[in-house]
Amino acid sequence: MELDQPRALLALEDGTLFEGRSFTGHGEVTAEVVFNTSMSGYQEILTDPSYSGQMVTMTYPLIGNYGINDEDVESSGVQVSAFLVKEYQEFPSNWRARASLADYLKAANVLGVEGIDTRALTRHIRLEGAMMGALSTLDLDPDSLVEKARNAPHMIGRDLVKDATCRNPYLWWKGKPEPLEVGLASFEWPDGRGKYRVVAIDYGVKYNILRSLENRGCNVLVVPATTTSAEIDKLEPDGLFLSNGPGDPAAVTYAVETIQEQLGKRPTFGICLGHQLLGLALGARTYKLKFGHRGANQPVKDLATGKVEITSQNHGFCVDMESLKGADIELSHVNLNDNTLEGLVHKKIPLFSVQYHPEASPGPHDASYLFDRFVGMMGKVK
């Protein structure tokens, strides 16, 4: 297959170059270059909306060996800008496989490149930080590609939620989206679909979060990120969920305003970007991490119990711990690798949030109890 693969060149904004071969044909893209340390779960990673605007490097060297199936998707399609691996396995072997990774990426018009020295690329990002890159099979001139990388829009200040959110609200029912037959103004909650009515604001939500809520007896209505506080009030939900998503949380000002207006009205649970937006709504600051946390092996300590959880993570921004001091906020979880904030709870009103992904997909299930906590909180208030 190598003879049929066009040469690909990756140029970083600092002038560093990496060569590879495209296993999906020709193309060109600019995006932030990040890495993920998971050993499996590439299909969930590819379809995670939090990766919008990023090309993902897998540190595990062999990718594609179990193909693509119909069950392990986390959104309506591929979300990454490009996919970089050391070695692509073109002949998948798995009883659930319905297609190869190459065919899946080709159908989504997303570049897949192998032969990249992923160890060198990952080490460079760890030392120098995540940076913009230009990947191409069409333009192999190093100077030209470096210039394209330098001119690409950076993550800081970018609102990517507007592209990742759903266009229309929908119910989550029996493990899949169910479009509404009416608008939110005329919506009525269907009977017999769970004990608790939850409005989930979609900033780029992963399907397994919705699966996790439904499995715990929640009747889930997913609404666009631009949904107002007044619209949420009219729906009279038992709980409010703030989803994960891509980009700089500080740029999503409309979401912060809605969350501020909702504070204290009903139990609230935020994950990843939802956690960051909640932090901003509570008066905190956010900042960009050097290279982010992306993988399924991040150790997080629960400060209330002293227990350590191995967690799945995917984020490049973080809430500043110092900016929360003196508020009615308790730090609930901390990352043991770099001591960054991983969770918070409010001392007076029913809300909490975590930076990591308790729904996993891919990753360990150590933190799935947080969904039970949210349900328990709704039960107590109701």
Q: Catalytic site residues?
A: 272, 357, 359
Nearest to 267 by CA among 304, 239, 246, 287: 239
Nearest to 49 by CA among 11, 20, 75: 75
CA torsion sign for 98, 100, 104, 107 is negative
HSE-CB at 345 with a 13 A cutoff on CA atoms is 13
Enumerate residues 6+ apart whose C-beta is below 8 A from 315: 50, 272, 273, 276, 289, 292, 293, 294, 355
202 token code pair: 């979609």
* Residue recorded with tokens 């693969």: 5
Check: CB of residue 42 under 8 Å from CB of residue 62. no
SS3 161: helix
DSSP conformation letters of 39-84: SS-HHHHHT-GGGTTEEEEESSSEE-TT-B-SS--SSSS---SEEE
Distance CA 314, CA 35 (A): 10
CB atoms within 10 A of CB 106: 17
> Alpha carbon 95 to chain centroid distance?
28
Report, in angstroms and rounded to the nearest whole number, the Rg of the chain calculated over CA atoms.
Answer: 21
CA torsion sign for 253, 213, 43, 86 is positive
SS3 374: helix
Check: CB of residue 364 under 8 Å from CB of residue 320. no
Is there a cis peptide before residue 362, judged by omega within 30 degrees of 0?
yes
